[in-house]
Amino acid sequence: MSGDEQIGETLTATFFVEPANPEITPTSGTTFGTSLTVTMSCPAEGATIHYTTDGTDPTVESPVYRRFRVNARTTVKAVAEKNGMLSEIVVAEYAPGRCVDPVFSLADGAEFAHSNQVVSIRWNNDGVLRYTLDGTDPTAESPIYEGPFAFSDSVELRAKVFSDEFFESSVVTASLTRVWENVATPVIDAAASFTGSKTKVIITCATEGATILYTLDGSEPDGSSAVYAGPIYVTESCIVKAYAVNVDYLDSAVASHEIVKVWGIGDTMGKADHAFTTGTNGVPGWARVVDATAPNGEAMKSGAITHNQSSVLETTVVGPGTLTFSWRTSCEEDPGGYFEWDHVELVVDGTAVRWLDGEKAWTNESVRIEGDGEHTVEWRYVKDDAESEGEDAAWVAGYGWVSDLTETQTTDVHVPYAWLLGHDPEIVDEYDAYEAAAKETGANGHKVWESYVIGADPNDKDDSLKITAFPMKADGTPDFEAITISPPQSKWNVEGAQPVIKGKRTLEGAGEWQTVTEENKADIRFFKVEVVLP
């Protein structure tokens, strides 16, 4: 082939390349004060820039760029066109400022211990504050903050301010962690040991609103255990266990307290709450023994004494009244009946009134004691100066005392025994036991005897006597006929009881409460109600 020969035809092709993207100045996100000048350029020579400021995408129909100014929040979009080809759309946003970041009332990383923890968010009220609790960034669809709100579990709180006028704030985050606390361990207030028929157990918990559950058999308490609602009385040795619960806390630890009943003379004598003494001046006293033949299966047995000694068991009663008991002996028998040999004797106020000797089975006694006031009662096992027979001892059991008194002796207003017994039949029949019970505090916060005095139920906080209406006349003195006292007399439970209004000029300083009369009422400013019982 020669060099000048032509093979085929020459083909010419024209290629159109998309123009470079336009550039918008200043950069997107720039804020300004009053206004801002926006300029645009394009690296592609001969390209035409079209733009919009209303947020729509620009086309070849949109305005051709020429320098302009913005004075409000604006979204600028621009596209370059050359030879019918379009560049990518470039976006720049401008605003006269940025929303201030919100601030939480709880710092990031804060811990809280209880349900319904409250958090508030502070911002300058430009725009709309929205938040989330699940760790996601807030959007324009997230809940609007309308004020402090509560939550009970750990959360990751996020908040952001949205605005049509300014740029949105940053997303602010606070991780808040609930740290569960335990309910305070209950405190069991009770004696470690007791004598008598019963002892009181009080259980408290320092955590407000906690519910205490307890057992008395040593088992671990749980949700099905008894709920503590006030003092408990236990009659035998036991182990008290208690724990406390509250929905805002983890359950408390279990508190435990062992109570031991120590056998007392009163138990053996059948009157656990009554006080007995024995063993004086180094002489052996009476002691508890198991005796299947005794009224209660146990008895008090005289001490092991020698010749010319006496073993004494002693108590006191408030008369007049009737004493009952049982006794037996195993000792010498005085053939003359003068009780000059070994014997047991009942001594009332220093005078022997009953005797027993020899081999005698259980014998029941009933002794009348006359006279008001306190009487000393003794059982004395007495030995003469020689010889011994049998077990050389005496036994006493089954004690009982029934007083003739019909009202207490030490309260300012006498309280009928009948009412007290009707309220608490377990109270023993000695006035001192009534007085001991009277010192207890009832559920209404008053001393029990005060509630007894007014005939109200001390376990009912609403059943206490009070003035509910105390109208005054035009002259500033009480209108006695219009005074109302609650509860009505039908609830006092004591027939014939009458309320008396007493008063004084001042609650401070000297001066006794005095019965209010028509003559003195104008000088009285403070009042109370007392009750006169039949």
Q: Report domain extents, the chain.
A: 23-94, 103-178, 187-261, 266-403, 417-532
Identify the CA nearest to 312 among candidates 379, 224, 219.
Answer: 379
Averaged pLDDT of the chain:
83
Residue whose pair of structure tokens reads 């350029």 in the numeric block: 41
Q: Does domain 187-261 have CATH number 1.10.150?
A: no
Collapse the DSSP code of 319 into the 3-class scheme (helix H, G, I; strand E, B; otherwise coil) and give the result: strand
* Cα 177 → chain centroid: 26
**Does 319 score more than 80 pLDDT?**
yes
* 329 touches 343 (CB < 8 A): yes
Size of the chain, expressed as the number of residues it contains = 534
Summarised one tens digit per residue, pLDDT across range 195-215 is: 777 888 999 999 999 999 999
Summarised one tens digit per residue, pLDDT across range 459-507 is: 554 555 566 666 767 766 677 777 777 666 665 555 566 677 777 766 5
**CATH, domain range 266-403:** 2.60.120.200
DSSP E strands, 246-356? 255-261, 276-278, 287-290, 298-301, 310-330, 343-348, 351-356
Q: 23-94: which CATH number, 1.20.120, 2.60.40, 2.40.160, 3.40.50?
A: 2.60.40
**Does 420 score more than 60 pLDDT?**
no
**Does 18 score more than 80 pLDDT?**
no
Summarised one tens digit per residue, pLDDT across range 366-379 is: 999 999 888 999 99
Q: The whole model's pTM is what?
A: 0.49
Identify the CA nearest to 273 among candidates 281, 264, 282.
Answer: 264
What is the C-alpha to C-alpha distance for residues 249 and 46, in angstroms, rounded to an integer?
A: 75
Would you place residue 96 in the very low, low, confident or very high pLDDT band (cuts 50, 70, 90)? very high
Which is higher by pLDDT, 384 or 335?
Answer: 384
Please, which residues bridge with residue 51 across strands?
Answer: 78
**CATH, domain range 103-178:** 2.60.40
What is the C-alpha to C-alpha distance for residues 496 and 416, in angstroms, rounded to an integer?
A: 12
pLDDT of residue 441: 57
Q: Do domains 103-178 and 187-261 have the same CATH topology?
A: yes
**Does 457 score more than 60 pLDDT?**
no
Please, which residues bridge with residue 381 across strands?
Answer: 311, 344
pLDDT of residue 501: 76
